[in-house]
A and B are shown apart, each in its own frame.
Chain A
Amino acid sequence: MKTIHIFIVFILVAVAQLILPAQMIFNQEDILKTGTAFKFKTQPVDPSNPFKGKYIYLNFEANTIKTTDSTWSRHEPVFVSVVEDSLGFAMVDKVTRVKPSNGDFVNAKVSYYSSYDKTLRLDYPFNEFYMNETKAFDAEIAHANAQNDSIPNNTYALVFIKEGETVLDNVFIDEIPIADYVE
């Protein structure tokens, strides 16, 4: 192969290497700009990823739904329709296997179905919030402390939703972004 041919192929590879992260950014920005914002009540825990850094793992309160249908299998992809409750937090309206034609929904996965209490548990695709490595552990502590004040659970994740795709924008404790709260 001539140098110029190798070079042309390389340019294609380089473009692919650039397009993939750019595509990721574009999708996420689009959801942030045109998607609907929902507040998901949550509890943070602090693990880490070798490449992406420290994050807080979010346990959401609105991750279950009562159902008598017991045919759900683990990791099965599902559509979760969400609505706002009276306090303005997200709650699960219904879970379906077919794409809902209207309303806001999240592409989620089945965690497991408990036949004991007839509850379906869900895994959301926005359960990791990446934080500065010095703040991630503090964030978990801050949340635990905030739990002890007068308001029951005041930690929530702000999630933008557009046609099933989601972007986790920020996590708030007492209406303050968690990164600022721990400072």
Chain B
Amino acid sequence: MNSKLIKELPQLVKDQVITEDVARNIEVYYQLKQDDKPNKLFTVFGVLGSILVGLGVILILAHNWDNFTRATKTIFAFLPLVIGQLFVGYSIFKNKSATWKEASGTFLFFAVGSSIALVSQIYNIPGDLSSFLLTWIVLCLPLIYLLKSNALAMLHIVFATYYACNYGYGYFTMQQTPWLYLGLMVLVLPHYWQLLKNHPKANVTSIFNWILPLSCTIILGAFVNNQGDYGYLMYVILFGLFYNIGKIPFFDDQKLRRNGYLIFGSVGTVILLLWTSFNWIWEFNENNLTFASQEFFIALFLFVVTAMVLGYSYSKKWIKGFNLFHIVFIMFTVLFFIGTSNSIIPTIAINCIIFALGLITVKIGTDKFHFGILNYGLLIITALVVCRFFDTDMSYVIRGLLFVSVGAGFFITNYVMLKKQKSKLNSKH
């Protein structure tokens, strides 16, 4: 794109669109920008290289070289660790570039894991995977702040998620709750905060905007023990929280693809609602639900936090007009508790909510002239219709008519909007 522009410059000067000075300025500007780029690329490749080498070392050591004596193997256990530490020490002491710090830190991260793993291997120490991961993560946590390393912060989140999955979702460990995961996440937040404050528009910040909600979405289920039905409620509220965070102007004003919270919140809410739009979901045994359970208190906590974000957004007048998405979590919470005694009301209400969400999204899409949002809205309605297709107690004719009308809706709305857009463009010219 830039090179194309630079190629056009002589022509622009020739046609007297811009002066020669401006052309030179533009050229110098892009030159400087270019000089800045290889640095970032180096960092990315440095980190990728370190990840691969680090994982490779772990695999080579996991082969178990049983020809070596215990002493030799012990030296091998420390070798990558010491090498990694020397590199990190050097880059801190000499205050090297970010590339150095990110790459050496990443290597050290894996070296720590490999040394603990190898010692466990040499002495046949069993120990489960989750406690091994936890030790590893904690030993590398300070490096995030010492090196101001984004790569290490990401590895921290990824491995904390791995730890929590292993701890909370394991076949024998269904009853365990990975509370320490919360602590690990809180400890990485200051780094994220710094990123949001200092580099809100950077690509690396938007990666965090995605992996944080992703990690929470994966792990929330591990906090469900016996009261599985509360899982629906917990997830709907979590997605409500994400949506409300994503709608804070700081995130909302950025490009949609940078806003993981909004997309997770919106898509997650719709999927959960579609899932609970089936009648059989609500036929759970209400006697199993108790208020004095861990699941209820987590749901309550999430609800309070989400309500606070929502309330704050209203008080700051960030929310203009009415958008059902903001308050779906409140409606669902009410329906959930109605659902404990009646399965018909929530089923019907949730179908209506999904339909309303679809219509509202279509409306937003047409107002903003955004084809993506428009079709997302239509997709919500289509998904609703497809779900009802599987409810066999509805007449074939009604289902058929529903399909035809939604299909027609797709054509008509897109066509009308395209026409509107064209006429708008024409009137501008």
* Chain A residues close to B by CB (< 8 Å): 3, 6-7, 9-11, 13-14, 16-18, 20-21, 24-25, 28, 49-55, 125-133, 135, 167-168, 179
9 A-B pairs (CB sep. < 8 Å): A7-B89, A18-B78, A21-B77, A24-B120, A24-B125, A25-B74, A130-B122, A131-B66, A168-B123
Question: How far is A177 from B62 in the complex, measured between Cα atoms in Å?
Answer: 20
Question: Interface size bucket, B side?
Answer: 35 or more
Question: How far is A139 from B120 in the complex, measured between Cα atoms in Å?
Answer: 20
> Is B92 within 8 A of A6, CB to CB?
yes
Closest to B112 in A: A17
> Is B116 within 8 A of A20, CB to CB?
yes
Which of A9, A55, A133 interacts with B146 by CB under 8 Å?
Answer: A9
> Is A126 within 8 A of B117, CB to CB?
no
Question: How far is A52 from B121 in the complex, measured between Cα atoms in Å?
Answer: 6
> Is B119 within 8 A of A130, CB to CB?
no
Residues 273 to 299 of chain B near chain A (Cβ within 8 Å): none
> Is B89 within 8 A of A54, CB to CB?
no
Interface core residue of A11, A14, A133 (most chain B CB under 10 Å): A14
B227 interfacial contact with A, CB 8 Å: no
Question: How far is A29 from B380 in the complex, measured between Cα atoms in Å?
Answer: 63
Which of A3, A51, A130 interacts with B124 by CB under 8 Å?
Answer: A130
> Is B143 within 8 A of A21, CB to CB?
no
> Is A132 within 8 A of B116, CB to CB?
no
> Is B62 within 8 A of A52, CB to CB?
yes
Which of B58, B62, B113, B129 interacts with A133 by CB under 8 Å?
Answer: B62
Main secondary structure, interface of B, reads helix
Interface string of B242-273 (1 = CB under 8 A from A): 00000000000000000000000000000000
> Is B142 within 8 A of A132, CB to CB?
no
Question: How far is A53 from B126 in the complex, measured between Cα atoms in Å?
Answer: 12
* Chain B residues close to A by CB (< 8 Å): 58, 61-66, 74, 77-78, 81-82, 85, 88-89, 92-93, 95, 108, 112-126, 129, 132, 135, 139-140, 142-143, 146
> Is A13 within 8 A of B142, CB to CB?
yes
Given contacts A135-B66, A179-B66, 15 further A-B contacts (CB under 8 A): A3-B92, A3-B93, A6-B92, A6-B146, A7-B92, A10-B142, A11-B89, A21-B78, A21-B118, A53-B121, A125-B126, A130-B124, A131-B64, A132-B63, A167-B123
Question: How far is A29 from B88 in the complex, measured between Cα atoms in Å?
Answer: 30
> Is B78 within 8 A of A128, CB to CB?
no
Q: How far is the CB of B132 from chain A (nearest CB, A)?
A: 7
Closest 5 CB pairs of A and B: A53-B62, A51-B117, A168-B124, A28-B123, A130-B121
With A13-B146, A20-B139, A24-B120 in contact, do A133 and B89 touch (Cβ < 8 Å)?
A: no
> Is B142 within 8 A of A54, CB to CB?
no
Question: How far is A9 from B144 in the complex, measured between Cα atoms in Å?
Answer: 12
Closest to A12 in B: B142
Question: How far is A16 from B138 in the complex, measured between Cα atoms in Å?
Answer: 10
Q: How far is the CB of A140 from chain B (nearest CB, A)?
A: 15
Q: How far is the CB of B4 from chain A (nearest CB, A)?
A: 43
Question: How far is A28 from B85 in the complex, measured between Cα atoms in Å?
Answer: 25
Question: How far is A121 from B58 in the complex, measured between Cα atoms in Å?
Answer: 35
List chain B residues, Cβ under 8 A from A3. Answer: 92-93, 95
Question: How far is A21 from B63 in the complex, measured between Cα atoms in Å?
Answer: 19
> Is A133 within 8 A of B63, CB to CB?
yes
> Is A25 within 8 A of B123, CB to CB?
yes
Closest to A4 in B: B93
